[in-house]
Amino acid sequence: MILPLDSSHKDASRARRTLAKDSSSGEATEARISGHRSSRRRFMQLTVGGAAAGIITAAGGRLGSPHAVMAQSKLSPDAALQALMEGNRRFTTNGATAHERDLAILRENTVEKQEPFAAVLSCADSRVPVELVFDQSIGQIFVTRIAGNVVTSEIIASLEYGAAVLGTKVILVMGHSNCGAVKATIQAKGVPGQISALYPHIQPAVDQAGSNLEAATKANAKIQAALLRQASTVISDLLKKNELKVVAAYYEIGSGSVTLLS
Ligand SMILES: [Zn+2]
């Protein structure tokens, strides 16, 4: 369970603006990381505490082994990415097999543990059913979804938990065709409620790629992936150790196919 953090959205949006202007700016990266450090420390305290509590519970219960709770994928980052892409190939060629698995057994096996091999940051769009798209089932992928697949402090916290605690080996940041969030940002019209709160996150992609929806959506996925690589010290440390990959991708709704962008 991920607990709410007190970190501000401002760090992420400031970083995003800077990143869109100049992705090679070391100074900007430093500012971003230092702004994120205190919330990261608190997050790790919370998650490590939670993980330890889980282990103690299991040790006192019927499982009796920390490994049963915290077992992690042994795949390399490249192999994890390949497994996702092979799943997508099965999905697009009507060869999906995930639905044949016994869900009752999967549910039972994952009561006390989860060991997802991959994480996906996807749009909330109903036409992007992430597990189906990659032909995966219960306990296999750690999915965060938000309109426009934008990186916020809470999304970073979630993906850090997936990578640092659960051991996901790849994070796919996936935009998709006909994305309403990107389209709305391009049009910049008045919208009800707080929908426009998404715009500042996506605007750098529109500034970079212009008003072509596909180009802006692909730019957005790349910008969000770059932001994730640099704004999170947890993730950047795992990247340096080659224990994780962060890859931008684009999902074509009509064909069901996922294309890697970076
Ligand atoms: Zn969308």
If you measure from the C-alpha of residue 180 to the centroid of ligand 1, how many angstroms do you get, rounded to a whole number?
5
Sequence-separated (6 or more) residues with CB below 8 Å from residue 206: 182, 185, 186, 216, 219
Q: Are strands 258-260 and 245-251 parallel, antiparallel or unpaired?
A: antiparallel
If you measure from the C-alpha of residue 149 to the centroid of ligand 1, how many angstroms do you get, rounded to a whole number?
7
* pLDDT of the residue at 72: 82
The average pLDDT across 176-180 equals: 98
If you measure from the C-alpha of residue 37 to the centroid of ligand 1, how many angstroms do you get, rounded to a whole number?
30
Asked whether the whole model's pTM tops 0.85, one would answer no
* pLDDT of the residue at 250: 98
The average pLDDT across 193-205 equals: 97
For residue 159, is it within any domain?
A: yes
Percent above pLDDT 90 for the chain: 72
Q: What is the pLDDT of residues 28-59, one digit of tens each?
A: 333 343 334 444 444 433 333 333 333 333 33
For residue 4, is it within any domain?
A: no
If you measure from the C-alpha of residue 71 to the centroid of ligand 1, how many angstroms do you get, rounded to a whole number?
33
238: containing domain: 25-261
Element (H, E) at 119: strand 118-122
CATH number at 195 reads: 3.40.1050.10
Domain count, the chain: 1
For residue 169, is it within any domain?
A: yes
If you measure from the C-alpha of residue 127 to the centroid of ligand 1, how many angstroms do you get, rounded to a whole number?
9
If you measure from the C-alpha of residue 7 to the centroid of ligand 1, how many angstroms do you get, rounded to a whole number?
25
For residue 8, is it within any domain?
A: no
If you measure from the C-alpha of residue 182 to the centroid of ligand 1, how many angstroms do you get, rounded to a whole number?
7
For residue 130, is it within any domain?
A: yes
88 or 49, higher pLDDT: 88
For residue 73, is it within any domain?
A: yes
For residue 11, is it within any domain?
A: no
How many alpha carbons lie under 13 Å from residue 220 in its C-beta half-sphere? 36
For residue 218, is it within any domain?
A: yes
